[in-house]
């Protein structure tokens, strides 16, 4: 039997050999599971009922009667050296000569996982479900769940070729160069080359294990802060015992993905389920928030649509009277009169008010697009020509267009949208700046018309709100120009987006192509 015992001792899973309800052998893995104080041979001759008990919650049976009857069950194991009983899963097999082989799996990680999943689910019920629509509220609540586990949890966002560090959750305060590194990185836009491990994860799949964490983070630190910072960051991460991670990602829109990466000295593959659930919650919260914002926008549009009709009547008529009266006064007093400058001021302000009314009606009023098959070049040329007076100090460059299929669009609505977009680009470019117009055909997606300027790029906060009605960074702007552009393009079945990955400020209009 010595050879059989040698094989038995070599088993990596905790195991017992039992005969007639009495323990005959206990392998090293089982002694390790039972804890310190259980030495070789110390359990031989001990009744199995001394260390195994039925869980009264799951199986209200008083005693362990038959070892084979344990197969496939979860029972409680108690160390003879004391300590609280803990759950184990049991597999029982006849080993011959009246022996029964019991193989155990520690069920504490599984039960802990179940508890964590329940905690993550309960987060959505806190504060009236605010975590369902507010990403910051979700991350704040999750920090309370992960900190007691000793997990270092990081949330990244990727869009195209750019990366943002959105949140860092730690079990305690972070100090030293690592704290400096985190502050430098948080909410700052990085190139994908600065965080190559994220590009690798995106190509690999949706979840898994990540090794060599200190080396990977040191690479990011080296690109952002230099060799000295990289060494110190790697040393701190290594000192914390963070060698490997579990990660999961979720796609929230085209080209946009969130990554959750959790590290701890004892992180294991079984923890992957928790990280995957958290990533799914992040994605659901982001999407839910976007849908809620769209619904709120539609409600505001409905209210503005009703108001715009009244505004058009109540304001445009008095404006028409004002313009007529102004023309009469100017003819009578002449352009050289002492009050000519005041008259010019009145005219400019009246025209600004007239433009505001037109923008509001264009944004909120009903449109009935008449779609036609159109050639793009004449549309662009007429849009540029209509704007020549207001952009005379700005160079508008129309790039040579490739061979493009016809567009399916409304010519009037398209020109209106382009006029607004070119005017916005000229304002951003500033005096003597450049506005560049280009186009391409992407099979299956349609025709893309891109309007870019070489002005200063948008901050993250401004970029997130550029299409929001009445949001403006100009002292005299109405904040409706880009909102009108989106409305006009979407009414034609297209879409308009800010190209965040481009230098300067760039917008793209996508319209259906006749393919």
- Condensed to tens digits (0 to 9), the pLDDT of residues 102-140 reads 999 988 887 777 777 777 777 777 766 777 777 888 888
Choose the weakest-confidence range: 231-235, 258-262, 340-344, 486-490. Answer: 340-344
CATH of domain 299-364: 1.10.287
Mean pLDDT of the chain, nearest integer:
80
User: What is the per-residue pLDDT across 346-405, written as a single tens digit (0 to 9) for each?
Assistant: 777 777 777 777 766 666 555 678 888 999 998 898 888 877 655 555 678 888 889 899
d(CA 143, CA 465): 28
Q: Specify the pLDDT at position 145.
A: 81
Assess whether pLDDT exceeds 80 at residue 341: no
Asked if the domains at 2-106 and 111-293 fall in one CATH topology, the answer is: yes
Radius of gyration of the chain (CA): 34
d(CA 184, CA 178): 10
Instruction: Give me the percent of the chain exceeding a pLDDT of 70.
Output: 85
Length of the chain as a residue count: 515
Superfamily of domain 111-293: GAF domain (3.30.450.40)
Assess whether pLDDT exceeds 80 at residue 184: yes
User: What is the per-residue pLDDT across 315-328, written as a single tens digit (0 to 9) for each?
Assistant: 767 777 777 777 77
Assess whether pLDDT exceeds 80 at residue 440: yes
Alpha-carbon distances, residue 394 vs 79, 388, 428, 482, 507 (angstroms): 82, 9, 10, 19, 17
Give the mean pLDDT of 209-230: 84
Instruction: Give me the percent of the chain exceeding a pLDDT of 90.
Output: 8
Q: Specify the pLDDT at position 302.
A: 65
> What is the DSSP code (8-state) at residue 47?
B
CATH 3.40.50.450 assigned to 372-511: no
Give the mean pLDDT of 260-270: 85
Q: Which residue has the higher pLDDT, 252 or 318?
A: 252
Q: Specify the pLDDT at position 10.
A: 85
pLDDT band (50, 70, 90) for residue 467? confident
Domain 2-106 top-level CATH class: alpha beta
Q: Specify the pLDDT at position 63.
A: 44
Alpha-carbon distances, residue 187 vs 144, 155, 162, 164, 184 (angstroms): 21, 11, 12, 6, 9
Assess whether pLDDT exceeds 80 at residue 60: no
Q: Specify the pLDDT at position 16.
A: 92
Give the tokens for residue 50. 């001394």
Cβ burial of 465 (10 Å; 0-12, 13-18, 19+) is middle
> What is the DSSP code (8-state) at residue 175?
-
Q: Specify the pLDDT at position 15.
A: 92
Q: Which residue has the higher pLDDT, 177 or 117?
A: 177
Strands lying side by side in the sheet with 22-26: 22-26, 15-19, 99-106, 86-96, 73-77, 52-53
Q: Quick one: residue 83, left, alpha or beta (phi over 0 = left, psi -120 to 50 = alpha)?
A: left
Assess whether pLDDT exceeds 50 at residue 62: no
* Strands 395-398 and 434-442, bridge-based pairing: parallel
Choose the weakest-confidence range: 86-95, 299-308, 352-361. Answer: 299-308
Q: Specify the pLDDT at position 301.
A: 63
pLDDT band (50, 70, 90) for residue 149? confident
Domain ranges of the chain: 2-106, 111-293, 299-364, 372-511
């Amino acid at each position: 039997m010595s050879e059989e015992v040698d094989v038995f001792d070599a088993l990596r899973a905790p195991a017992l050999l039992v005969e007639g309800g009495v323990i005959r052998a206990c392998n090293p893995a089982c002694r390790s599971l039972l804890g310190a104080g259980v030495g070789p041979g110390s359990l031989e001759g001990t009744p199995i009922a001394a260390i195994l008990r039925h869980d009264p919650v799951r199986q209200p049976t008083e005693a362990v009667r038959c070892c084979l009857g344990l197969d496939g069950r979860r029972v409680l194991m108690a160390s003879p050296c004391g300590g609280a009983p803990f759950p184990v899963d049991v597999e029982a097999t006849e080993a011959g000569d009246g022996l029964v082989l019991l193989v155990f799996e520690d069920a504490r990680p599984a039960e802990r996982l179940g508890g964590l999943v329940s905690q993550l689910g309960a987060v959505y019920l806190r504060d009236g479900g605010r975590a369902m629509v507010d990403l910051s509220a979700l991350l704040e609540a999750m920090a309370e769940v992960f900190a007691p586990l000793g997990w270092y949890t990081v949330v990244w966002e990727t869009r195209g070729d750019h990366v943002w560090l959105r949140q860092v959750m730690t079990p305690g305060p972070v100090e030293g160069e690592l704290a400096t590194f985190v502050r430098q990185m948080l909410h700052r836009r990085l190139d994908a080359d600065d965080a190559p491990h994220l590009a690798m994860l995106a190509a690999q799949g949706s979840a898994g294990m990540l090794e060599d964490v200190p080396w990977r983070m040191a690479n990011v630190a080296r690109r952002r802060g230099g060799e000295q910072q990289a060494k110190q960051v790697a040393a701190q991460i290594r000192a914390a015992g963070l060698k490997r991670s579990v990660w999961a990602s979720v796609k929230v829109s085209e080209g946009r993905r969130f990554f959750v990466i959790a590290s701890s000295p004892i992180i294991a593959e079984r923890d992957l389920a928790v990280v995957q659930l958290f990533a799914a919650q992040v994605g659901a919260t982001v999407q839910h928030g976007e849908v809620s914002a769209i619904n709120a926008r539609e409600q505001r549009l409905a209210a503005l649509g009703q108001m715009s009709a009244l505004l058009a009547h109540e304001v445009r008529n008095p404006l028409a009277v004002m313009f007529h009266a102004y023309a009469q006064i100017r003819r009578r007093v002449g352009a050289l009169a002492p009050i000519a400058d005041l008259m010019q001021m009145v005219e400019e302000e009246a025209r600004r008010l007239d433009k505001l009314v037109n923008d509001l009606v264009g944004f909120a009023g009903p449109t009935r697009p008449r779609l036609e098959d159109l050639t793009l070049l004449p549309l662009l040329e007429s849009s540029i020509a209509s704007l020549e007076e207001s952009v005379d100090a700005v160079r508008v460059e129309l790039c040579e267009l490739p061979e493009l299929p016809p567009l399916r669009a409304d010519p009037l609505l398209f020109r209106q949208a382009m006029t607004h977009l070119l005017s916005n680009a000229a304002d951003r470019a500033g005096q003597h700046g450049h506005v560049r117009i280009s186009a391409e055909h992407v099979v299956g997606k349609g025709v893309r018309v891109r309007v870019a300027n070489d002005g200063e790029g948008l901050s993250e906060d401004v970029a997130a709100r550029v299409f929001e009605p009445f949001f403006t960074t100009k002292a005299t702007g109405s904040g409706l120009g880009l909102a009108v552009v989106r409305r006009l393009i979407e009414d034609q079945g297209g879409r308009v987006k800010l190209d965040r990955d481009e230098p300067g400020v760039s917008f793209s209009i996508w319209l259906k192509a006749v393919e």
